[in-house]
Amino acid sequence: MRISLYIRNILAALIIFIGIPCLAAKAGDLELSADSISRDYETRTLLLEGNVKISYEREYIFCHKATINMKSQTITAEGNVILENDETYIEGEKIVYNYKTKLGEIHKGLVQAGQVVFIGDIIKKNSASKFLASNAKYTSCATCPPGWSFSGKEIEAEVGGYAYIKYPVMRIVDFPVLILPWLLIPLKSKRQSGLLVPSLENSSTGGTAFTLPYFWAISQSQDITYSLKTYEKRGLKQKAEYRYVLNENSKGSINTAILNDRAFTSEGGPTGYKESFRRGFLSYRHFYELPDNFIHRASFDLISDLRYPRDFSDELGGHGDPALENKMSITKNSNTQHFSVEADYYTNLLKEYTNADNSDAVHRFPELQYSLTERELLNTNVFFKFDFNYTNFARRNFSYDDDDAGAGRKPTTAHDGQFDYSGNQHDLIRTGQRLIFKPRLSYPFHIGNFIDINPSVFYNETQYRFNVSPVTPIVDYSKNAELRYLQTDISFKTKYSAIYGTNNPNSSLIKHEIEPELIYSRIPVADRPNNIFFGNFSDQPYSRHNEVVNDSDFEGPSGIQFDYHDRLFNKDLATFILNNYLIRKNYSSNASSYQKFFTYRLTQSYDLNQARQENPHPWSVINSLLNVRLKNFETHTTADYYPYAKIANWTTRLKFINDRRNYLELTYSENSIVNDDQTDTVGQRTQTLGTGVGFITKRLDLLGKTNYSIQTAQLENWEYVASVKPPGDCWSIRFGHKKTLGADTVFKISLNFEFNGI
């Protein structure tokens, strides 16, 4: 067993500088010390015995006995020999070394560079950094025996370069598990090209799969990882990831894969290995800081078929989402304004057939936004801001959706080529241009030190240009439309607070704040265009104003607009807000810090327009939020109570954390879809219980989560990742196992080795 370099140094220093008598001398540029030193002037040799130390140009030799040939400039050291310099540490029973050329031979020794160690019967030092070892072993583990190692007939190694091993045998602890024809391993800390450690996985559809990755370090600012992945049932997949760095804060990546899938058809079923279906994806992420505070962003996810995100969720996100969003933007932000230009392309995933086209998706191409942040006008305490938005809603083919009148107002793909809006058939406009301009004025003031009042008024001007051109004129339709209204708001806010703690100025204090607020909003003036695009919202509660577009809009009086910005409700609304905060003030190192660790919020609105209806339901949903952040406990809970349906939808998360940041997480959600007038539920109530765990120790890391449906008594998804780290801190085994309802069960295992050379 070898003795640590540092312990050897300490022992040598003690031997040289305390109670044991020794001799010191110089021979040329060599500095020598030993218990005895003798010279042979005829052969020009020196013999050193006992506690020998030889130093030359920042290299040091320690041994029991050494013979120095001044003529050949060779040192023959024997007996627990140590040779060290700034880059390597060498041990051996015997070392023959030329201190001028830095060449030599180590008998039954080892060479250590950083954490990397290679051992051999004979190790030849062929240059300052190159070694050739026979009957050798390579490892980076500090344990004895090492946690892993490669033994080979011959190891050719270059410190700061690579180790090339002929016929390596991989050993776990000291048991052989794998033999290879050759192996190339880096012995340097900077990035280098080469093969990475393979991984193995198994899935219910793909069978057993083996992945062999290759890493190409193109330069210090870019690299590529290319992988071959062979599936037992699917076939051979090629994968590539290209990464680049443009400057300190700008970077990007491109991920792609291609596969002739034998276990998949265009209908989504297995082929029986008689044919294959070409599948793949391309994912692009880009962030670039341009001059003058402009930022360029890009995010693309392109897929061969709609089931690809489900079948290969580890490669591409989006499984369970209604669409994949592909977007590119340029933005500029400052303290006073925001500007952005963005283009969004959506891939509709809500299709029955996996190879369905994307002709019905509506895209934002482009969208321009400009906002001026609130600013005071000429020291008058009057504040001004405005927002501008232009969007072009585009689609590849039809600018409208055909209505299948015989199916009860349902969209149909059987396009007749003509826009109709008569009788039972009401086709719906889906494309066009929209421009929104919203200036706002406010005048905040105070009544004493108790009440903050903020009256404001804003004007909304929206211009439309639709792409639909009916063959025959349609009543209440024009290609151009204007929507404008004036809204007034006034808010009343006050604050109550109390401080709890001692009078000691250096002790922690807790402040409790209560902020009640009342906001009254009204639209006194509105110009509603008489156009079939806008639908009818006059009798609907204002609480629906920001709901997403869904099938009920298509079938009901609302109709489908571009998004919720196109809806105009009769707004006459009072909103009540109650905020509770707990804030902790801590002192540390003569400085104070503040943490808001408790938040509880309640909001509800009263719709005065609804109160005037024949069957009024003026009270909105009661929204509540509880958020607690303590050292060892966190919770986040949201609850929405529907007063007329007498039902609550709520979600809660509890997280328990210890001082080592290990955690246990519990989640619970209970939800129902409530109808438009908020009096009853639509469909079955869902209840989901989730768990999560994070457990990190010296020898084991474990992360896992589950989601369980109480209605179906099924695990909707589960996943765990475990990393086992044997002693030596030089390798780990990673296990991954996951299952999502409707998707494959996938088990993956991979090894990670630490090749820590210098």
744-754 per-position pLDDT tens digit: 889 999 887 76
As a whole number, mean pLDDT of residues 148-167 equals 82
Using pLDDT thresholds of 50, 70 and 90, give the confidence band for residue 173: confident
Question: Residue 26 pLDDT more than 60?
Answer: yes
Nearest to 479 by CA among 536, 569, 399: 399
Q: Which residue has the higher pLDDT, 5 or 379?
A: 379
What pLDDT is stored for residue 113 in this prediction?
A: 80
As a whole number, mean pLDDT of residues 318-326 equals 86
Helix (H, G, I), strand (E, B), or coil: what is residue 63?
Answer: strand
What pLDDT is stored for residue 411 in this prediction?
A: 65
Cβ neighbours around 527 below 10 Å, total: 11
- Cβ pair 364, 344 in contact under 8 A: yes
What pLDDT is stored for residue 558 in this prediction?
A: 73
Output the CA–CA distances (angstroms, integers) from residue 542 to 167, 545, 576, 616, 730, in the order listed.
Answer: 76, 5, 15, 13, 62
For 82, the token pair is 């140590």
Q: Which residue has the higher pLDDT, 666 or 545?
A: 666
pLDDT digit string, tens, across residues 602-658: 999 999 988 888 888 899 999 999 999 999 999 999 999 999 989 999 999 999 999
Amino acid of residue 140 = S
For 600, the token pair is 């509880």
CA dist 101 and 59 (Å) reads 13
Using pLDDT thresholds of 50, 70 and 90, give the confidence band for residue 94: very high
Amino acid of residue 31 = E
What pLDDT is stored for residue 408 in this prediction?
A: 56
What pLDDT is stored for residue 680 in this prediction?
A: 76
Helix (H, G, I), strand (E, B), or coil: what is residue 553?
Answer: helix
What pLDDT is stored for residue 702 in this prediction?
A: 93
- Residue 90: Cβ-neighbour burial (10 angstroms; 0-12, 13-18, 19+): buried
Q: Which residue has the higher pLDDT, 3 or 527?
A: 527
What pLDDT is stored for residue 754 in this prediction?
A: 67
For 216, the token pair is 């190409």
- Residue 373: Cβ-neighbour burial (10 angstroms; 0-12, 13-18, 19+): middle
Nearest to 463 by CA among 398, 400, 525, 392: 392
Using pLDDT thresholds of 50, 70 and 90, give the confidence band for residue 506: low
**pLDDT mean across residues, the chain:** 86
As a whole number, mean pLDDT of residues 157-177 equals 81
pTM confidence score: 0.77
Using pLDDT thresholds of 50, 70 and 90, give the confidence band for residue 710: very high
Using pLDDT thresholds of 50, 70 and 90, give the confidence band for residue 551: low
What pLDDT is stored for residue 15 in this prediction?
A: 41
Question: Residue 677 pLDDT more than 90?
Answer: no
Tell me the domains of the chain and their CATH numbers: 5-190 (2.60.450.10)
Using pLDDT thresholds of 50, 70 and 90, give the confidence band for residue 543: confident
pLDDT digit string, tens, across residues 279-303: 999 999 999 999 999 999 999 999 9
List phi, psi (to 5°) of 192: -140, 150
Using pLDDT thresholds of 50, 70 and 90, give the confidence band for residue 12: very low
Question: Residue 13 pLDDT more than 90?
Answer: no
For residue 164, the surrounding DSSP H or E stretch is strand 162-166
Q: What's 312's DSSP letter?
A: T
CA dist 60 and 180 (Å) reads 37
What pLDDT is stored for residue 294 in this prediction?
A: 94
CA dist 118 and 689 (Å) reads 52
- Cβ pair 463, 484 in contact under 8 A: no
What pLDDT is stored for residue 85 in this prediction?
A: 87
Using pLDDT thresholds of 50, 70 and 90, give the confidence band for residue 550: low
Nearest to 478 by CA among 499, 461, 463, 459: 463
The residue whose two tokens read 């079948």 is: 311
As a whole number, mean pLDDT of residues 252-277 equals 75
- Cβ pair 154, 169 in contact under 8 A: no
pLDDT digit string, tens, across residues 470-491: 888 888 889 999 999 999 999 9
What pLDDT is stored for residue 561 in this prediction?
A: 83
Q: Which residue has the higher pLDDT, 680 or 343?
A: 343
pLDDT digit string, tens, across residues 364-400: 989 999 999 999 998 899 999 999 999 999 998 888 8
CA dist 122 and 132 (Å) reads 8
Phi-psi sector, 5: left (phi>0), alpha (psi -120 to 50), beta: alpha
Task: For Cα atoms 642, 645, 651, give the angle at the middle one, nearest 5 degrees.
Answer: 45
Percentage of the chain exceeding pLDDT 90 = 48
Output the CA–CA distances (angstroms, integers) from residue 700 to 398, 405, 628, 724, 747, in the order listed.
Answer: 57, 62, 30, 5, 18
What pLDDT is stored for residue 756 in this prediction?
A: 55
- Residue 80: Cβ-neighbour burial (10 angstroms; 0-12, 13-18, 19+): middle
Question: Residue 501 pLDDT more than 50?
Answer: yes
Question: Residue 16 pLDDT more than 60?
Answer: no
Question: Residue 544 pLDDT more than 90?
Answer: no
pLDDT digit string, tens, across residues 691-703: 999 999 888 999 9
- Cβ pair 395, 361 in contact under 8 A: yes
As a whole number, mean pLDDT of residues 449-465 equals 94
